């Protein structure tokens, strides 16, 4: 482990790691199993359009989540877009701004006004009280995001939605294999949407899914994801190509076999970071509720610069100099990205917690590609950076101040 500030790369130019450590480096499970599945696909000459691997994955996801319908799709973004259409959202829809921009784009893309709502600073998720204040006669739905895989207040949001006859959609991109009050995420709201992008702990290279217990909605999602085809050459309505392909499904099936190993690695990393960084002034690791099922796929630091004497961006700069590619998800908040910044310039005024949190959060490398010794070194770098923050920050080359963008 590093012993003093003078050992750090910002002084010596030599990074602590000879390779880059990433936040979202994918695991591919058993390569032999994956290759056998891919061989089977090539032998069958059936590459997409409701093939056997996609069918099998559909069953595995539904069983794992205890949900009636799970529809694998080509990406989390496409799943969101189809969910928005299937729920017939229009007018205004309320959502958090601290999320990946795909959540907002899925609405704006369909001509819906995304109404950004502030979050609870403790949970980082939508504040249901604030949601209710933003409802107007034009509101048709609420999109909650289970940020970092930590569940939204699903019960309060459901009550708000029911009271105002609104649709409730959850962006569960981060929350695969997570539970809320003992029930798996995937079962809440009208529809839930997962991302199986390569950077997620469970992935299909590119991919996603919509889950629901509502048979009618599931049927609508299925039809929409296949151009609206209701028969061999009959089209019953509007649709798009949202289908998952067989190779992606093979990747997903292979990782399904290995899910507990992936979660165990994330859990071990999270606990190690937490115990090593505990008590460090101005540094907190966002907690998971370990009485629930968690996937622990994000290790999220909150930096309070008043006690840490270093800003989140300065810490990110130091980590990047050491080849630790920490990410400042989800900065600067969708409301500060285009087209939202130009279209809704007043949004920031009603988002004080979002504004503050977006400036303080930093995600650390985790997953199976990061081992205990590396975490010890990363925690050591953070400890030195915080202890010696002011001196280090003044030595930081200008280009490193914006690292992690
Ligand atoms: N809703 C939410 C709340 C989401 O977080 C997301 C996606 C979506 C919806 C949409 O779902 P998808 O349509 O993507 O299925 C990444 C992912 O592209 C995105 O899926 C994810 N959220 C978001 C949080 O992160 P970037 O721009 O940060 O990716 P990138 O290329 O910078 O990679 C992140 C890190 O992972 C880097 O350090 C490099 C490493 N990496 C990445 C890839 C792709 C690897 O080591 N290997 C790889 O193959 O967006």
What domains sit in the chain, N to C, each tagged with a CATH number?
5-26+259-326+365-400 (3.90.1150.10), 31-256 (3.40.640.10)
Q: Atom 20 in ligand 1: which residue has the minimum CA distance?
A: 197
How far is the CA of 255 from the CAs of 29, 99, 150, 243, 245, in angstroms? 5, 25, 22, 19, 16
Residues 6+ apart with CB under 8 A from 324: 16, 17, 21, 364, 365, 378, 381
Pocket lining: 197 vs ligand 1, CB cutoff 6 Å? yes
For β-strands 299-303 and 139-145, DSSP reports them as unpaired
Looking at ligand 1, which atom is closest to the CA of residue 208?
Answer: 15
pLDDT of residue 405: 40
Looking at ligand 1, which atom is closest to the CA of residue 147?
Answer: 3
User: What averages of pLDDT result for each successive group of 10 residues across the chain (405 residues)?
Assistant: 78 91 94 98 98 98 98 98 98 98 98 98 98 98 98 98 98 98 98 98 98 98 98 96 98 97 98 97 97 98 93 94 96 98 96 97 97 97 88 67 49
Residues 6+ apart with CB under 8 A from 91: 112, 113, 138, 139, 140
pLDDT of residue 2: 55
pLDDT of residue 191: 98
Chain Cα centroid distance, residue 274: 20
Helix axes 246-256 and 52-65, enclosed angle (nearest 10): 40
Looking at ligand 1, which atom is closest to the CA of residue 25?
Answer: 46
How far away, in angstroms, is 133 Cα from ligand 1 center? Answer: 32
Kindly report whether the global pTM for this prediction surpasses the value 0.85.
Answer: yes
Q: 235: closest CA among 244, 226, 243?
A: 226
pLDDT of residue 172: 99
Phi, psi of 85 (to 5 degrees): -70, -45
Pocket lining: 328 vs ligand 1, CB cutoff 6 Å? no
Helix axes 76-86 and 215-224, enclosed angle (nearest 10): 120
How far away, in angstroms, is 84 Cα from ligand 1 center? Answer: 21
What is the best residue among 197, 209, 324 to mutate for testing ligand 1's pocket, by most ligand atoms within 8 Å of CB? 197
């Amino acid at each position: 482990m590093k012993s003093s500030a003078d050992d750090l790369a910002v002084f010596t130019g030599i990074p602590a790691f000879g390779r880059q450590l990433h936040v979202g480096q994918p695991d591919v499970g058993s390569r032999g199993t994956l290759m056998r599945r891919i061989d089977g696909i090539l032998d069958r000459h059936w590459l997409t359009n409701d093939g056997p691997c996609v069918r099998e994955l559909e069953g595995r996801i539904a069983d794992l989540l205890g949900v009636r319908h799970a529809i694998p799709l080509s990406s989390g973004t496409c799943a969101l877009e189809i969910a928005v259409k299937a729920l017939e959202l229009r007018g205004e829809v309320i959502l958090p701004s601290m999320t990946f921009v795909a959540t907002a784009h899925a609405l704006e893309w369909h001509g819906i006004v995304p109404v950004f709502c502030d979050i609870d600073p403790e949970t980082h998720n939508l504040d249901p009280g604030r949601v209710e204040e933003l409802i107007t006669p034009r509101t048709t739905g609420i999109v909650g995001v289970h940020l970092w895989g930590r569940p939204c207040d699903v019960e309060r949001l459901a009550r708000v939605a029911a009271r105002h006859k609104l649709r409730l959609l959850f962006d569960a991109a981060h929350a695969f294999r997570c539970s809320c009050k003992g029930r798996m995420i995937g079962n809440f709201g009208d529809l839930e949407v997962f991302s199986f992008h390569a950077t997620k702990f469970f992935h299909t290279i590119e991919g996603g899914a919509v889950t629901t217990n509502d048979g009618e909605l599931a049927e609508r999602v299925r039809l929409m994801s296949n151009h609206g085809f209701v028969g061999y050459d009959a089209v019953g309505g509007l649709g798009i190509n949202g289908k998952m392909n067989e190779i992606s499904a093979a990747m997903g099936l292979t990782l399904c076999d290995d899910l507990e190993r992936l979660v165990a690695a994330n859990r071990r990393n999270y606990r190690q970071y937490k115990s090593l960084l505990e008590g460090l002034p101005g540094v907190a690791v966002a907690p998971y509720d370990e009485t629930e099922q968690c996937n622990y796929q994000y290790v999220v630091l909150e930096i309070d610069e008043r006690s840490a004497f270093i800003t989140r961006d300065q810490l990110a700069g130091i980590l990047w100099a050491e080849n630790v590619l920490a990410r400042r998800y989800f900065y600067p908040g969708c409301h500060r990205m285009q087209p939202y910044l130009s279209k809704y310039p007043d949004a920031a005024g009603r988002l004080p917690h979002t504004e503050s949190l977006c400036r303080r959060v930093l995600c650390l490398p985790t997953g199976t590609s990061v081992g205990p010794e590396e975490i010890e070194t990363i925690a050591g770098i953070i400890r030195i950076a915080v202890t010696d923050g002011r001196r280090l920050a003044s030595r930081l080359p200008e280009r490193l101040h914006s690292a992690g963008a």
